[in-house]
Amino acid sequence: MSIHEECGVFGVISPDLCDIASIVYYGLYALQHRGQESCGVVVNNDGVFTSHKDLGLVSEVFNKDVLAKLGQGRLAVGHVRYGTMGGNSRNNCQPIEVNHQKGCMALAHNGNLANAGELRSNLELSGAIFHTTSDTETIAYVVTKERLRSNSMEEALSASMKILDGAYSLVLMTSQKLICARDPYGFRPLCYGRTADGSYVVSSESCALSAVGAEFVRDVEPGEIIVFTREGIKSIKEHCHHKRKRMCIFEFIYFARPDSTIDCVSVHGARLRAGELLANYHPAKSDIVIGVPDSGLDAALGFSRASGIPYGIGLVKNKYIGRTFISPGQDTRLDQVRIKLSAVEESVKGKSVVLVDDSIVRGTTSQRIVRLLKEVGAKEIHMRISAPPFLHPCYYGTDIDSEEDLIACQHSVEEIAKIIGVDSLGYLPLDELGTLIGSHEYCSACFDNDYPTLIPSDICKYKFENKLSQKQK
């Protein structure tokens, strides 16, 4: 078990016909860290949808010929996926497209529904036929069903939000509209910007706006629906302020890119503060502070500044390999640690090292990294984690669906330190999470068991595709 990214969504509406597929391509490239299993783009040219979706990284799935075949358009949506519900198959690639008597729709989704199983069961009993095993298709069915009795797609989406429960940041395209929505809890980030030529761009993170030359306008509010048309923008806040905001705190610790700003909070700044807090709560007499690339680097810098211990580069990441979390098996993941990271002997040999990382899930990867440093001569290793211990599953878009393999559920901090081979281990205190973002409007259920929604009865990621032998009789 490991922490996986969720997904990244992206959409563009342009006042003029343009090479819009390339804009989405660059936006998805900037969001690649959020999902590396598959990706897709749907282009809308005067109501005609053209799409390309496949397994792999953005650079593998798209090239000049593919982008040229997508053609020009005024609207487009895109998606990068790591599936927290449903397996890694072409069927589950997004955006999902729907052809309906009320018009075409393309839908991209980041998050995870807490009531997906119940909704899907009810839809199937009423005659719906599913082609994927992801909860995104469930959202598409609900919206389409509501569209039959609604005057517009935004009205249908608003009605659907009364039914959907859980995490969802959505970008939806019709023949003439680009629509985005964020669930009332605001679990996952969503923002929009504007380019100099008057195009509007919707993205999971602000870093992708910069990548396509768009200026950040603002975050989408929890519960808000925003409709973009050639005539302008309409904001619908019918579902705003009905729930306590519960932004996923792990977006700031790990998921998001450090150059992104989420809900007016700098991700880089939040990670610096995490490192500073670690230095105050868990000081160490060491010669150097190093971070595990990439998400541990900012916190390591914060630790260094607060402690006065010099910051250095002790681990180098191979930039041409994806995150270890996409590996299908434990043996493969172990091999990839050595392929992905190498230790800088000159920095750590004969020294006492503070090693900063964002989390320990199972402990195997941490154990391997510690071994790399010891092999090149690190004298002592004091590990500091910029998050509290993982103790509970996540139902809102993080691939932790069981406590069974969470090392912190089975062992004390001292035991974990011994298992992974470090001289000391310190976690970020749970009650300091609010300090990272300057508020207490966050979800930390994976750390403290405080779930904002009802807990799903069936939490298995592959519950819609289990083998016959695994199904209940």
User: Are 308 and 417 part of one and the same domain?
Assistant: yes
- CATH of residue 272's domain is 3.40.50.2020
User: Are 141 and 221 part of one and the same domain?
Assistant: yes
Mean pLDDT of 15-31: 97
Counting the structural domains of the chain, the total is 2
Provide φ and ψ at 133, rounded to 5°. Answer: -115, 20
Q: What is the pLDDT of residue 226?
A: 98
Catalytic residues: 7
Length of the chain: 473
Mean pLDDT of 347-366: 96
d(CA 395, CA 167): 8
Please indicate, yes or no, if residue 260 is contained in any of the structural domains: no
Residue 256 has pLDDT above 80, yes or no: yes
Please indicate, yes or no, if residue 26 is contained in any of the structural domains: yes
Most confident of 98-112, 173-187, 337-351: 173-187
User: Are 85 and 221 part of one and the same domain?
Assistant: yes
Decide if 33 contacts 205 (C-beta within 8 A).
Answer: no
Helices (H), 148-266: 153-160, 206-211, 250
Angle at the Cα of 303 from the Cα atoms of 321 and 272, rounded to 5 degrees: 70
Please indicate, yes or no, if residue 211 is contained in any of the structural domains: yes
Boundary of a domain, candidates 246, 273, 291: 246
d(CA 218, CA 205): 11
User: Are 222 and 325 part of one and the same domain?
Assistant: no
Please indicate, yes or no, if residue 210 is contained in any of the structural domains: yes
User: Are 32 and 60 part of one and the same domain?
Assistant: yes
User: Are 208 and 269 part of one and the same domain?
Assistant: no
Decide if 205 contacts 8 (C-beta within 8 A).
Answer: yes
- Whole-angstrom distance between the N-terminal and C-terminal Cα of the chain? 27
Q: Give strand pairing partners of 380.
A: 352
Please indicate, yes or no, if residue 257 is contained in any of the structural domains: no
Mean pLDDT of 180-204: 98
Higher pLDDT, 411 or 84: 411
pTM of the entire predicted model: 0.91
User: Are 103 and 212 part of one and the same domain?
Assistant: yes
Q: What is the pLDDT of residue 318?
A: 85
Q: What is the pLDDT of residue 98?
A: 94
Provide φ and ψ at 251, rounded to 5°. Answer: -60, -40
Q: Token match 């939490």: residue?
A: 459
Query: Mean pLDDT, the chain, as a whole number?
Result: 91
Residue 322 has pLDDT above 70, yes or no: no
User: Are 23 and 157 part of one and the same domain?
Assistant: yes
Binned at pLDDT 50, 70 and 90, residue 84 comes out as low
Q: What is the pLDDT of residue 325?
A: 43
Please indicate, yes or no, if residue 450 is contained in any of the structural domains: no
Mean pLDDT of 147-156: 96
Please indicate, yes or no, if residue 259 is contained in any of the structural domains: no
User: Are 69 and 133 part of one and the same domain?
Assistant: yes
Q: What is the pLDDT of residue 88?
A: 57
Whether the link from the prior residue into 263 is cis, omega within 30° of 0, is no
Residue 157 has pLDDT above 60, yes or no: yes
Q: State the residue range of the domain holding 215.
A: 7-246
- The SS3 assignment for 52 reads strand
**pLDDT tens-place string over residues 267-286:** 999 999 999 999 999 999 99
User: Are 197 and 242 part of one and the same domain?
Assistant: yes
Residue 463 has pLDDT above 70, yes or no: no
Provide φ and ψ at 401, rounded to 5°. Answer: -110, 10
Mean pLDDT of 173-196: 98
Q: What is the pLDDT of residue 324?
A: 39
Binned at pLDDT 50, 70 and 90, residue 328 comes out as very low
Binned at pLDDT 50, 70 and 90, residue 83 comes out as low
Candidate from 135-149, 327-341, 427-441 with smallest mean pLDDT: 327-341
Residue 22 has pLDDT above 90, yes or no: yes
Residue 468 has pLDDT above 50, yes or no: no
Q: What is the pLDDT of residue 333?
A: 47
Q: Which two tokens stand for residue 304?
A: 């260094």
- CATH of residue 162's domain is 3.60.20.10
Please indicate, yes or no, if residue 443 is contained in any of the structural domains: no
User: Are 222 and 298 part of one and the same domain?
Assistant: no
Q: Which of 331, 329, 330, 275 is nearest to 300 (CA)?
A: 275
User: Are 188 and 271 part of one and the same domain?
Assistant: no
Candidate from 194-198, 321-325, 352-356, 365-369 with smallest mean pLDDT: 321-325
